[in-house]
Chain A
Amino acid sequence: MTSTAESLRQRVNRALNSQKPKTITVLSCLLAVEDELGYIPQEAAEEVARFTDSTINDVWGVASFYTNFQFQPPGRHRVEVCWGPTCHVLGAMDAIGEVLKSLDLSGEGTTDDGAISLRYNTCLGACANGPVMSVDHHLIGRITPERAAQIVGELKERQTVGGPGAP
């Protein structure tokens, strides 16, 4: 076992052992790992199986069901754009088009340099201020295609963690 794999397992176990609810399940464990690592590596699935006394198949079965789980390390920044009906009515598709162009992506995924991951979200929960996008979990409402491109462009340039309502 390499030292990186060890520290990964240590991080996973710290996350598994510090869950707030008393009801611990395969799903609660996977969510705790996702919060810690941003994705579910093989090592984490093994640790979750051990921790919950489940089979590895049980764990992958749950992880593959919920669409939030990722199995590759995410980029350093996470950009999400909502494609739900409200945001669609208010022009989200044009904004997504501009974001894709700016990131040189053809759909969901991570830029070649590993800097930015793009995901489409079904609802970020701020519909009254749609179209909505988020950068590293900070919500930004009422985006236009130009504003979306500008936000992603600045993120590409800065390469630092965005502050509230960033950038």
Chain B
Amino acid sequence: MPPNFEDLRALSIRRWQGLSQGDKPWIRVGTALCGKAAGADRVIAALTSELEQRNVGATISEVGCLGPCYAEPLVDVVTPRGPRVVYGGVTPEQVPEIFDSHIVNGKPVAAYALGTLGDDRSDDIPRLADHPMMKAQHRIALRNAGHVDPCDIRQYIANDGYAALYRALTEMTPDQVREEVSKSGLRGRGGAAFPTGTKWNFLAGAKDPVKYILVNCEEGDPGAFNDKGILESDPHSLIEGVILAGYATGATMGYVFIRHGHDGPIDRTWCAIDQARELGILGQNILGSSFSFDIEVALTGDSYVAGEETALMESIEGKRAMPRYRPPFPAQVGLFGKPSNINNVKTLAYVPQIVLRGSDWFAGIGRERSTGTAILCLSGDLTYTGMAEVPMGMTLRQVVDDLAGGVPGGKKLKLLQTGGPLGGVLSSDDLDIPLDFDAMAQTGAIMGSGGIIAASEESCVVDLTRVLIAFCQYESCGKCFPCRTGMTHLLEVLERICRLEGRSGDLELMRTVGQNMQAGSLCGHGQLGFNPVSSALRYFREEFEQHLRDKTCAAGKCPSPWYSPDGARR
């Protein structure tokens, strides 16, 4: 007997109210990768031990990433009376005091608090919504991140979860779902910014009883963690997006492709899949409809190129992750020879809200040809680092100065590195560029996956370019020799410039190598692999010249020892 979704939702909402407004304190601790790196496990151990010792009735839940990763570990406490308070930078030593004062006696400890959430105010604690990093946010894909327990499907259902799927299955044809996504203007968030509706139409048009939806969470770009962040914080939003994509295109199976070793995102995705199957939301005859669809996690080994869409399919098939020739395109001949669509995690995580609230609502956010929001990963020399979702159109300068609070310690910003290692660098003088796929591409920087790495005046651009090329060289899959040998050649030249042993003509040599890589490589890795060098030269040519001509490094970094792995695929 199929579950009655309306009953399920009503029950889930009652449970959610019992938890968030009930008669027991509810303690949420962020245990995404950022929280873990800040020591959230020790904080949970301290909380659990207090709970047991004092025999207090309270619920402790592990949640994902609320966004201000710089302030992890975050502990979010709501008691039957009083405001919901988020504590930042919590140490195990602070836990007894928070416990005594807030959880037992209902009096928040203002000294450790980052801010309050919700409508209840506090006299001595600011609202988190007024925090510079939270103020400008418009959270769609991240709306539940840090709020719900990612391993509890009922919490997701209580917060609009699977309502879009239910509506699509009961009221909409697959054509209507695709139409809605097309009209929303949604473009792929993995880097290529291809219109999602158009991509889905290609797959819908392929005549084959077996078709696949592939979700790309390889996310090997250093400085990008928002795909993993969504899987860790709200995996059901992705699962619902994948099922909707399957329904809209007539696909039969979905694969969520994640890099091995990132246990948090992997475990939470599997957990979401298992729970959805258990409730009849995944598998045969979803929610009693005639639509059947299943999802699995497919793991890849360490390979950055595995995130390229055709290499990704090779990897799911268990082979070396090397790109395929196109045509044929994946929508005709994809995974295991079957028509396939590859979508980024963020792209699909938007889909449930687009289906539920309508394409006009989504298209009304952001810019005309870059609708919706940008999900940014802020890292490097910034005061407020973490994950933030802001409307498209905000300028990079606003992102750095307002959202991220500028460079700490009164230092000046030197550059931003955007769009992953194959993206580019931007000088701090050129940041009046809106977050917009096309506007950013025109300046030579790419939006990529939303990673923004900031470097202060103390860093050396030649040294940073060397690290970016070291990464690209290490990760070249080796299939196309212009990329394989070209990256190695670029790295050799950059290494000698950093040792202050560069030769005249080195910059021209790099340009020749870069042009050959661009012309002779099958995938973006080789085609865009010169971007770090060319964009650095565009804004900081004089700094390269200084290294070459005067054998000096103004930042005082070069020469200094560096270490990189010896396992490169040379």
Interface residues of A (CB under 8 A from B): 20-23, 25-31, 34, 52, 61-62, 65-69, 82-90, 93, 96-97, 100, 107-108, 119-120, 122-130, 132, 137-142, 163-165
Partner of B37, one of A61, A62, A141, A163: A141
Please determine whether A68 and B318 come into contact, CB atoms closer than 8 angstroms: no
Please determine whether B260 and A31 come into contact, CB atoms closer than 8 angstroms: yes
Please determine whether B260 and A84 come into contact, CB atoms closer than 8 angstroms: no
How far apart are B425's CB and chain A's nearest CB, in angstroms? 10
Do A139 and B320 contact each other (CB < 8 Å), given the known contacts A21-B298, A93-B562, A120-B564? no
Docked Cα-Cα span, A59 to B117, in Å, equals: 52
Closest 4 CB pairs of A and B: A25-B318, A66-B301, A84-B222, A164-B41
Please determine whether A62 and B222 come into contact, CB atoms closer than 8 angstroms: no
How far apart are B275's CB and chain A's nearest CB, in angstroms? 15
How far apart are A28's CB and chain B's nearest CB, in angstroms? 6
How far apart are B449's CB and chain A's nearest CB, in angstroms? 12
Do A123 and B321 contact each other (CB < 8 Å), given the known contacts A89-B453, A129-B69? no
Interface residues of B (CB under 8 A from A): 33-34, 36-39, 41-42, 45, 69-70, 72, 219-225, 228, 255, 260-263, 270, 296-304, 315-321, 377-381, 385-387, 417, 421, 451, 453-455, 459, 464, 467-468, 471, 474-475, 477, 560-567, 569
Docked Cα-Cα span, A12 to B108, in Å, equals: 52
How far apart are B18's CB and chain A's nearest CB, in angstroms? 30
Docked Cα-Cα span, A69 to B381, in Å, equals: 33
Please determine whether B319 and A62 come into contact, CB atoms closer than 8 angstroms: yes
Partner of A122, one of B262, B378, B385, B475: B475
How far apart are B133's CB and chain A's nearest CB, in angstroms? 11
Partner of A129, one of B42, B72, B317: B72
Docked Cα-Cα span, A130 to B454, in Å, equals: 12
Please determine whether A28 and B222 come into contact, CB atoms closer than 8 angstroms: no
Partner of B301, one of A21, A27, A122: A27
A/B interface sample: 22 pairs, CB < 8 A = A21-B297, A25-B316, A28-B298, A65-B301, A66-B300, A67-B565, A89-B453, A90-B380, A93-B561, A93-B562, A93-B563, A120-B563, A120-B564, A122-B302, A122-B471, A125-B225, A128-B385, A129-B37, A137-B261, A139-B36, A141-B34, A141-B72
How far apart are B264's CB and chain A's nearest CB, in angstroms? 9
Docked Cα-Cα span, A82 to B320, in Å, equals: 24
Docked Cα-Cα span, A93 to B560, in Å, equals: 9
Query: Total A-B pairs in contact (CB under 8 Å)?
Result: 191
How far apart are A20's CB and chain B's nearest CB, in angstroms? 7
How far apart are A143's CB and chain B's nearest CB, in angstroms? 10
Docked Cα-Cα span, A165 to B46, in Å, equals: 13
Given known contacts A65-B303, A119-B565, A128-B379, what 20 new A-B pairs fall within 8 Å (CB)? A20-B270, A23-B255, A28-B298, A61-B320, A62-B320, A65-B301, A65-B320, A68-B261, A83-B565, A85-B222, A85-B471, A89-B453, A93-B563, A122-B471, A126-B36, A128-B225, A128-B377, A129-B72, A142-B38, A165-B36
Please determine whether A165 and B385 come into contact, CB atoms closer than 8 angstroms: no
Do A123 and B222 contact each other (CB < 8 Å), given the known contacts A26-B318, A89-B380? yes
Which residues does chain A contribute within 8 Å of B38, judged by CB atoms?
129, 141-142
Do A85 and B318 contact each other (CB < 8 Å), given the known contacts A23-B298, A129-B385? no
How far apart are B226's CB and chain A's nearest CB, in angstroms? 10
Which residues does chain A contribute within 8 Å of B381, judged by CB atoms?
89-90
How far apart are B420's CB and chain A's nearest CB, in angstroms? 9
Do A27 and B315 contact each other (CB < 8 Å), given the known contacts A86-B453, A127-B377, A128-B69? yes
Docked Cα-Cα span, A27 to B464, in Å, equals: 33
Shortest Cβ distance from B219 into A: residue: A125
Docked Cα-Cα span, A25 to B569, in Å, equals: 22
How far apart are B57's CB and chain A's nearest CB, in angstroms? 25
Which residues does chain B contribute within 8 Å of A122, judged by CB atoms?
220, 222, 302, 304, 471, 474-475, 565
Docked Cα-Cα span, A93 to B563, in Å, equals: 7
Please determine whether A69 and B564 come into contact, CB atoms closer than 8 angstroms: no
Docked Cα-Cα span, A39 to B222, in Å, equals: 25
Which residues does chain A contribute within 8 Å of B561, judged by CB atoms?
93, 97
Shortest Cβ distance from B266 into A: residue: A20
Please determine whether A139 and B567 come into contact, CB atoms closer than 8 angstroms: no
Docked Cα-Cα span, A26 to B402, in Å, equals: 48
Partner of B33, one of A65, A96, A139: A139
Docked Cα-Cα span, A63 to B303, in Å, equals: 12
Docked Cα-Cα span, A29 to B417, in Å, equals: 37
Partner of A123, one of B70, B220, B468, B477: B220
Which residues does chain A contribute within 8 Å of B296, judged by CB atoms?
21-23
Please determine whether A66 and B303 come into contact, CB atoms closer than 8 angstroms: yes
Partner of A138, one of B36, B387, B459: B36
Please determine whether B464 and A67 come into contact, CB atoms closer than 8 angstroms: no
Docked Cα-Cα span, A107 to B377, in Å, equals: 30
Which residues does chain B contribute within 8 Å of A128, judged by CB atoms?
34, 69-70, 225, 377-379, 385-387
Do A125 and B33 contact each other (CB < 8 Å), given the known contacts A25-B317, A86-B379, A138-B41? yes
Docked Cα-Cα span, A42 to B561, in Å, equals: 36
Docked Cα-Cα span, A163 to B36, in Å, equals: 12
Which residues does chain B contribute within 8 Å of A28, judged by CB atoms?
298-299, 318
Docked Cα-Cα span, A34 to B300, in Å, equals: 12
Partner of B34, one of A30, A93, A129, A140: A129
Docked Cα-Cα span, A25 to B315, in Å, equals: 9
Docked Cα-Cα span, A35 to B378, in Å, equals: 31
Please determine whether B37 and A139 come into contact, CB atoms closer than 8 angstroms: yes
Partner of A83, one of B42, B386, B467: B467
Which residues does chain B contribute within 8 Å of A27, judged by CB atoms?
299-301, 315, 318-319
Please determine whether A85 and B303 come into contact, CB atoms closer than 8 angstroms: no
Shortest Cβ distance from A139 into B: residue: B37
Shortest Cβ distance from B478 into A: residue: A65
Please determine whether B386 and A108 come into contact, CB atoms closer than 8 angstroms: no
Please determine whether A68 and B301 come into contact, CB atoms closer than 8 angstroms: yes
Docked Cα-Cα span, A20 to B269, in Å, equals: 13
Shortest Cβ distance from A143 into B: residue: B37
